[in-house]
């Protein structure tokens, strides 16, 4: 399976067998850098040594190495922290159709959490727009998550992009590494780039040297493209398609990747995965397979986005495994349940309001509507 464009390849060309899997570079040298699926630097700064790299195919941590502690990861976004809190070392899915704000919410989470926890982040751009990757890099440099040095920042503010002025020592102080396999890449690259990003996250979590034993954030945008690329590769290999034309190995491929995203006794990987929902249908096999692996789901709703409320989180569709008194305490849990009850009652009253108007409601229901609208805002 090709990891790059096959233009110009002809029968009879010589092929070099490296005898090993794709390897990703490791060490402080990878902080603040951009890589492609095979671990080559694509930011135009300097080449990176891959001699001691880690192969992208690995087994999940052993049972005895896993950590079972539950701790809340505060994001600074009220609707998430109150109604569907994230677990440190958990897997979180951002579900939504096209244009409801998945990528923007990921950028907000990277910014908030990188600053609050001073942890390392790995961002895997899987089959998304190249423009979004460019926006993300600029955002990271401006916010200081990636440190190119003061001289480069001044040239960037004036509209320049002078890579010769990048301070390579300051670069090692960066809090993020980016791995991209965008829409224009062949399916082989898009099917593997999530594993390349995960390998970097695993190194930061429990690798040797500085950066080991840390709490890592691993962002995937978009996990649906990982499934889509697997479907394309499956068709190229001539396998029989299963439901809705997806590959027959859909659950296996997803499971092999998701099982590696976990907390060990040395550190944790908290994964935030944007999941594109085709035609806003949550029963589609791709999002449905992803659901099984997640600890929390944040569903972004087009209806809420149309009201001008951002992030457009649907509090009634979104869920969290740790929304319980045992983890959060009674006060937090009871408040969250009361808020959900108010919003659910408001949802039930919306049809009556649309047909008969607010005046036909009882005083109690008018109070519920007033409260729900204030809570939404």
Residues in the chain: 377
Please report the sign of the dihedral spanned by the C-alpha atoms of residue 223, residue 204, residue 67, residue 249: positive
Q: Which two tokens stand for residue 126?
A: 């899987």
Return the closest-CA partner of residue 127 out of 46, 181, 79.
181
SS3 344: helix
Please answer whether residues 210 and 28 qualify as being in contact, where contact means their C-beta atoms are separated by less than 8 angstroms: yes
Burial of 243 (0-12, 13-18, 19+ CB in 10 A): exposed
Catalytic positions are 102, 128-129
Please report the sign of the dihedral spanned by the C-alpha atoms of residue 343, residue 345, residue 351, residue 353: negative
Burial of 361 (0-12, 13-18, 19+ CB in 10 A): middle
The C-alpha atoms of residue 373 and residue 377 are separated, in whole angstroms, by: 6
β-bridge pairing 91-96 and 86-87:
unpaired
In whole angstroms, what separates CA 79 from the centre of its chain? Answer: 18
Q: Which two tokens stand for residue 120?
A: 């390392």
The C-alpha atoms of residue 137 and residue 152 are separated, in whole angstroms, by: 13
In whole angstroms, what separates CA 94 from the centre of its chain? Answer: 8
The C-alpha atoms of residue 223 and residue 229 are separated, in whole angstroms, by: 10
Return the closest-CA partner of residue 297 out of 259, 271, 332.
271
Please answer whether residues 2 and 236 qualify as being in contact, where contact means their C-beta atoms are separated by less than 8 angstroms: no
The C-alpha atoms of residue 59 and residue 26 are separated, in whole angstroms, by: 18
SS3 27: coil
The C-alpha atoms of residue 333 and residue 345 are separated, in whole angstroms, by: 19
């Amino acid at each position: 399976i090709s990891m790059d464009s096959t233009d110009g390849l002809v029968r009879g060309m010589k092929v070099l067998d490296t005898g090993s899997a794709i390897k990703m570079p490791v060490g402080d040298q990878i902080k603040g850098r951009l890589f492609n699926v095979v671990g080559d630097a694509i930011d135009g700064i300097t080449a990176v040594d891959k001699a001691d790299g880690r192969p992208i195919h690995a087994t999940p941590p052993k049972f005895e190495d896993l950590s079972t502690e539950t701790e809340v990861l505060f994001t600074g976004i009220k609707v998430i922290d109150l109604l569907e809190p994230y677990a440190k070392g958990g897997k979180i899915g951002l579900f939504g159709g096209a244009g409801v704000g998945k990528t923007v919410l990921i950028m907000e989470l990277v910014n908030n959490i990188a600053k609050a926890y001073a942890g390392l982040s790995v961002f895997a751009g899987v089959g998304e727009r190249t423009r979004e990757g460019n926006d993300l890099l600029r955002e990271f440099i401006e916010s200081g998550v990636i440190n190119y040095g003061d001289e480069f920042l001044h040239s960037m503010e004036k509209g320049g992009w002078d890579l010769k002025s990048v301070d390579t020592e300051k670069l090692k102080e960066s809090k993020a590494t980016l791995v991209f396999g965008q829409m224009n890449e062949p399916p082989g690259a898009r099917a593997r780039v999530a594993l390349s990003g995960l390998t970097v996250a695993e190194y930061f979590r429990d690798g040797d040297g500085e950066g080991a034993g840390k709490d890592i954030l691993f962002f995937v945008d978009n996990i649906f493209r990982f499934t889509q690329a697997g479907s394309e590769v499956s068709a190229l290999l001539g396998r029989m398609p299963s439901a809705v034309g997806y590959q027959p190995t859909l659950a296996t491929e997803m499971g092999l990747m998701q099982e590696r995203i976990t907390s060990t006794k040395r550190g944790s990987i908290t994964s935030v995965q944007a999941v594109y929902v085709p035609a806003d249908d949550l029963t589609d096999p791709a999002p449905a397979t992803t659901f099984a692996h997640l600890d929390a789901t944040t569903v972004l709703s087009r209806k809420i986005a149309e009201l001008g409320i951002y992030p457009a989180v649907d509090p009634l569709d979104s869920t969290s495994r740790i929304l319980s008194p045992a983890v959060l305490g009674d006060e937090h849990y009871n408040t969250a349940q009361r808020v959900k009850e108010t919003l659910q009652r408001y949802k039930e009253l919306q049809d009556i309001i649309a047909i008969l108007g607010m005046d036909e409601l009882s005083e109690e229901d008018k109070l519920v509507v007033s409260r729900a609208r204030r809570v939404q805002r």
